[in-house]
Structure 1
Amino acid sequence: MTRDPLPPGIDPGRPSIARVYDFFLGGTHHVEADREVARRIADVMPDFPTVVRHNRAFVRRAVRYLLDEGVRQFVDLGSGLATAGAVHLVAQEFGADARVLYVDSDPTVAADNRSLVPAATAGSVAADLRDPASVLDCAEARRLLDLDRPTALLMIAVLHFVPHRDDPAGVVAGYREAVASGSFVALTHAEDASRVPGTFEAARLYSQDVAQIHLRSRTEIADMLRGWELVAPGLVATPAWRPDPEVVTPPTRLNGLAAVGRKP
């Protein structure tokens, strides 16, 4: 069962990144335009829905690791919808009293998230992650976060939407400079894997129907992590980052890369 989550004035014929992902994750926050794009992408790259689920599973593992490291405040940049597997829910699952700021450039997604998260310990803002100062100095950030304490920055499957001209490595560095020593970044990024059948067509459909996507090489992704001390096993295929031994991970040909880094 699906529902139309769109408030009046929002074009239901325009797909949303967040709602396409929600469809792939088995959620209910999507409309027919989102489902149609999702089906077209899956037709040319059947692995893609599993790749999306790998990203969400990485969030759970990374947040669990960060909680074990004592981190209790999180900024989820390009968060998408805070539904099943979202950061505040993972923290609750592990009994941690964490504060979470969800940041998304889509005002509709940000508004939806405000109805999904506990207001006392989480918040949602519509903001452009390319401007770290405005994100970390907004009223909700000031309410929820103490930037003198370690903070976890989550950049899950979002930096591949930042154009080369906007210097994604510089964006990540801007956040690193703004947070305290002992803070962390958790990052996933789509890898340029033109050798995999369907990659070009899936990227074309995504760019045409949802948002321009920029596939990058391993070297380019590693460049975004300069200045961070990578946690073992380093920059690896997303399902290979500290996998749960009891969980069977469906194989895919296209995984993207993931890493967690600590600010010295």
Structure 2
Amino acid sequence: MSERVGWVPEGVDTGKPSAARLYDYLLGGGHNFAADRALAEKFLQAQPNARTIARLNRAFLRRAVLFMMDNGIRQFLDLGSGIPTVGNVHEIAQKADPEARVVYVDFEEVAVAHSQLILEEDPRAVVVQEDMTKPVAVLKAARESGLVDFTQPVGVLTVGVFHFVSPQADPKAVVAAYRDAVPEGSYLAFSQFTQDLQPEEMAGVVEVMKKSQNPMFPRTMSEIEGFFAGFELVEPGVVPLPLWRPEGTNTDDPDKAGIYAAVGRKI
């Protein structure tokens, strides 16, 4: 039986789990349903460290946005942004500079509907409902929002989403299309699951997600480095989540991070 609550758009089948709502649940959010929680519990059986990985990925997003802000970026394109939870991009960026602008992109109806509620009072942030693997449509919507000036450097964020992009969708070409749309001095932040870290757990996660709307495709370090063609990787390069420019004392085990992360500057 599907759950109905006020912030769920008409026509959404809440009995079908989604990756966006699974991530929301792992982060402790409240915008998920019984089907999402059931899938998340199976995910946790395969990868008991999943909640920590979700937290580490969110922390990387914060550090990457602040790094870009420190390097002059004031406009962001957040691809596959998911359901906004505490510490989202516009909150991070606008705390550093109230004039910072953000365009969120997601195709999942609940993620978009909740984003619209959160952003309705913020003229410098908007969500567009598009598939990030279709960059022509995404870039058109971003331009039409009036919040991204593609003649100025842009921070492109692909954090924790490309493991849902199949090889058949040609993910390198997708990234290249966004790279070609932004000027020199723009940045790309990227993180995704890998089989290099905890391969047995990752294999279990892949099996669990085969039964969902969002199968997963982990990638190796060298495959992830390949997404940065045309970018100069900033130090420390492609590394497990807790090793990317950590703040303060870092006690998280990088071998259990599950995800590689990196930031590059377009050259």
Kept in 1, the 8 Å contact 2:53–2:258? The answer is yes
Q: 1:134 aligns with which of 133, 137, 141?
A: 137
Q: 1:231 aligns with which of 226, 230, 234?
A: 234
Q: Does 1:121 align with 2:124?
A: yes
Deviation at 1:216, TM superposition (A): 1.2
Counterparts of residues 71-82 of structure 1 (less than 5 Å): 71-82=73-84
Aligned to 1:178: 181
- State the Cα deviation string for residues 141-199 of structure 1 (Å, max 9, x = none): 54111100000000011111111122111111111100011100000011124853332
- State the Cα deviation string for residues 227-259 of structure 1 (Å, max 9, x = none): 101111111111110011146436662421111
Kept in 2, the 8 Å contact 1:238–1:258? The answer is yes
Kept in 1, the 8 Å contact 2:197–2:256? The answer is no
Any idea what SS the aligned residue of 1:137 has? Answer: helix
Q: 1:228 to 1:251 in 2, by over 3 A?
A: closer
Aligned to 2:259: 256
Q: 1:204 aligns with which of 193, 202, 207?
A: 207
Deviation at 1:94, TM superposition (A): 2.7
Q: 2:246 aligns with which of 237, 243, 246?
A: 243
User: Could you list the runs of 5+ residues in structure 1 that have no partner in the other structure?
Assistant: none
- State the Cα deviation string for residues 51-74 of structure 1 (Å, max 9, x = none): 111110000000010111110000
Q: 1:66 aligns with which of 42, 65, 68?
A: 68
User: Could you list the runs of 5+ residues in structure 2 that have no partner in the other structure?
Assistant: none
Deviation at 1:109, TM superposition (A): 1.5
Kept in 1, the 8 Å contact 2:190–2:261? The answer is yes
Aligned to 1:110: 112
Aligned to 1:48: 50
Aligned to 1:33: 35
Aligned to 1:97: 99
CA distance in 1: counterparts of 2:51 and 2:196, whole angstroms = 17
CA RMSD of aligned residues (A): 2.0
- State the Cα deviation string for residues 33-54 of structure 1 (Å, max 9, x = none): 1111111110221011111111
In the alignment, residue 208 of structure 1 is paired with which amino acid? K
Q: Which runs of 4+ in 1 moved over 6 A?
A: none
**Higher alpha-carbon deviation: 58-67 or 208-217:** 208-217
Aligned to 2:8: 6
Q: Does 1:155 align with 2:158?
A: yes
CA distance in 1: counterparts of 2:251 and 2:86, whole angstroms = 19
In the alignment, residue 229 of structure 1 is paired with which amino acid? E
**Higher alpha-carbon deviation: 109-118 or 24-33:** 109-118
In the alignment, residue 122 of structure 1 is paired with which amino acid? A
In the alignment, residue 174 of structure 2 is paired with which amino acid? V
Percent of residue pairs bearing the same amino acid type: 39
Deviation at 1:108, TM superposition (A): 2.8
Kept in 2, the 8 Å contact 1:239–1:255? The answer is no
CA distance in 2: counterparts of 1:61 and 1:141, whole angstroms = 28
CA distance in 1: counterparts of 2:251 and 2:8, whole angstroms = 36
Q: TM-score, normalised by structure 2?
A: 0.92
**Higher alpha-carbon deviation: 168-177 or 125-134:** 125-134
Q: TM-score, normalised by structure 1?
A: 0.93
In the alignment, residue 62 of structure 1 is paired with which amino acid? A
Kept in 2, the 8 Å contact 1:83–1:116? The answer is no
Any idea what SS the aligned residue of 1:91 has? Answer: helix
CA distance in 2: counterparts of 1:119 and 1:96, whole angstroms = 10
